[in-house]
Structure 1
Amino acid sequence: MSITNLESVTPVDMNTFRNVVGHFASGVTVITTAVDGQLYGTTASAVSSLSMEPPMMLACLNRSSSTHDRVVEAGVFGINILAEDQGALAFHFGRKGEDKFATVPHTLSAEGIPLIDGALATIVCHVAETPTGGTHTVFLGLVSHAEAHDREPLAYYRGTMGRLEPTKELGAYQATRTWVLLRTSPLGEDLDVDAIAAASRADADHVANALVKLESEHLVFRTETGKYQPKPITAELTDSAYDSRATIES
């Protein structure tokens, strides 16, 4: 694999970079750890799953953060994925100084790592590797504990935090998929884009795009006239659908 000579590369303007990267929607987390009974935490959005075998997570922390140094010292850290009503906690843990856990309900893991009560999900990681990049350290952690709850996520997009709302396109897809699965249009009959759009209060273009996606999922097929019709649901089709879903979730 070739490696670019970075000295010959002119970096993009910082403000441009910040604006463009802000278009990547992500969840919001609080990275926590503990050293000698003292609890530490900081807000972070650069967090991702890394591996299934073994189960590993990735978290990036600025080296100027006090939590960064404590994670290095402890060798263990928690990832608290915040729920939609915990936006205030993201700002709370984004500040420097003070005892951040004094007013935040939490539970200690078996390793003594503080896990925030009411979080969408909590994960405990043991540091395996610590590569660096720019101003940050990338903590690769082996997961020893993971727990999720039936709540909605806190989303971060272009500098704003809030609830992750389904888009119109997603709503049209879900409505079209339900129309097909419930056989609102019988087998052998063309699917009427305008009728589906009117019934679901969706844009006809979004319904047309949904049908293209449903064709890739083998739930509909295109006829010689360019129209779409529902596809018979067989055992083979059902198995294929479940296999696809399992792959996505994995």
Structure 2
Amino acid sequence: MSSDTQDLRGAGPVEAKMLRSVCGLFVTGVTVITSGRGEQAAGTTVNSFTSVSLEPPLVLFCLHRASRLRAVVARSAAYAVNLLAAPQESLALAFASRATASLREVPHHASVTGVPVLSDALGFLSCRLVNTVEAGDHTVFVGEVVEVGLPTRGEEPLVAFRGELGPLREAP
């Protein structure tokens, strides 16, 4: 065992509040993940989204174990990642609350997987669920991208920084 490995063994766990503060310095895009079909359709705001692979086309996002959307994604085996535009901050906040926004109140249409896509999103990826991984207090959902929607408007994305939402070009 190297002395570097030995030194790391003495490192203790990081306090959750401090971890959140430091991670908040990393600018992320804001998405609404939608899943389910019909009356079971639901969505929630997520910024833990990233591309994984181009071949095959894979993306992932994470949900807390207690998230209301977790069971919906598992049952439907599909989800859509809706990339939000800067003017959609109120939509992000509505889907972030515990009493989540109703998809009935938001313009949407079905993707090729049958899950809803927000019609006014900056762009979207519709995915077939291929894997889940339990990681700490979250579940990582990996999906194969089977449909994309490219932005047609020249809007700026909505970003998260230091716990605040805002447009990319202005300090949130």
TM-score (ref. length: structure 2):
0.87
Q: Which has a greater percent of strand?
A: 2
Please report how far the alpha carbon of residue 141 of structure 1 lies from its aligned counterpart in structure 2 after TM superposition. Answer: 0.4
> What's 1:46 paired with?
48
DSSP-derived class of the 1:41 partner: strand
> What's 2:161 paired with?
157
Please report how far the alpha carbon of residue 16 of structure 1 lies from its aligned counterpart in structure 2 after TM superposition. Answer: 1.0
Please report how far the alpha carbon of residue 9 of structure 1 lies from its aligned counterpart in structure 2 after TM superposition. Answer: 4.7
- Name the Cα RMSD after superposition: 2.1
Identify which range, 80-89 or 33-42, moves more after superposition: 33-42
Amino acid at match of 2:166: G
Q: 1:148 aligns with which of 139, 147, 150?
A: 150
Amino acid at match of 1:12: V
Structure 2 counterparts to residues 1-250 of structure 1, below 5 A: 9-35=11-37, 37-97=39-99, 100-149=102-151, 150=153, 151-165=155-169
Q: Which has a greater percent of helix?
A: 1
DSSP-derived class of the 1:66 partner: coil
State the distance in 2 between where 1:70 and 1:7 align.
39
Please report how far the alpha carbon of residue 28 of structure 1 lies from its aligned counterpart in structure 2 after TM superposition. Answer: 0.1
Give ranges in structure 1 of 5+ residues lacking alignment.
168-250
Give ranges in structure 2 of 5+ residues lacking alignment.
none
State the distance in 2 between where 1:73 and 1:27 align.
26
Amino acid at match of 1:118: D
Asked whether the equivalents of residues 43 and 100 of structure 2 are also in contact (C-alpha less than 8 Å), the reply is: no
Please report how far the alpha carbon of residue 159 of structure 1 lies from its aligned counterpart in structure 2 after TM superposition. Answer: 0.8
DSSP-derived class of the 1:111 partner: coil
Larger radius of gyration: 1
CA spacing shift, 1:99–1:153, aligned 2, 3 Å: closer
State the distance in 1 between where 2:43 and 2:107 align.
13
TM-score (ref. length: structure 1):
0.61
Asked whether the equivalents of residues 63 and 69 of structure 1 are also in contact (C-alpha less than 8 Å), the reply is: no
CA spacing shift, 1:53–1:158, aligned 2, 3 Å: same
CA spacing shift, 1:24–1:110, aligned 2, 3 Å: same
- Identity, % of aligned positions: 37
Amino acid at match of 1:164: L
Using CA pairs below 8 Å that are at least 6 residues apart, which structure has the higher relative contact order?
2
> What's 1:175 paired with?
none
